[in-house]
Amino acid sequence: SFELTQPPSVSVSPGQTASITCSEDKLGYKYVSWYQQKPGQSPVLVIYGDSKRPSGIPERFSGSNSGNTATLTISGTQTMDEADYYCQAWDSRTGVFGGGTKLTVL
């Protein structure tokens, strides 16, 4: 079955670069999107089509997807970026979310 695997947690110091991965066999052949969710809030789309940013999303958010792994990169991470991040892709006419990664900025 199609499953997206994310690390449960990632830590980064303010101002540094954070990388969150999402893995599945041949994921590079699919489009991946990323959502940010802060406590008590609804998810917000931050990346779609592997690397595109919706309007209003800061340039420090970027994405890539190749081989078996998609990566969300946050450059110059800010404390406001602390949140859960979920990748999403499609397979066999159904959507799938990854298990989520808690990004801690400290």
Partner 1 sequence: QITLKESGPTLVKPTQTLTLTCTFSGFSLSTSGVGVGWIRQPPGKALEWLTLIFWDDDKRYSPSLKSRLTITKDTSKNQVVLTMTNMDPADTATYYCAHRGQYGDYVFGYWGQGTLVTVSS
CA 99, CA 106: separation in Å to the nearest integer? 22
Please select the residue that binds partner 1; options are 24, 63, 88, 105, rule is CB under 8 A. Answer: 88
CA 43, CA 39: separation in Å to the nearest integer? 10
Q: Which amino acid is at 68?
A: N
- 56 interacts with partner 1 by CB under 8 A: no
Query: Hey, is 21 helix, strand or coil?
Result: strand
- 29 interacts with partner 1 by CB under 8 A: no
Residue among 79 and 93 whose Cβ is closer to partner 1: 93
Q: How many residues does the chain have?
A: 106
Give the interface with partner 1 as residue ranges (CB under 8 A).
31, 33, 35, 37, 42-45, 48-49, 52, 54, 86, 88, 90, 92-100
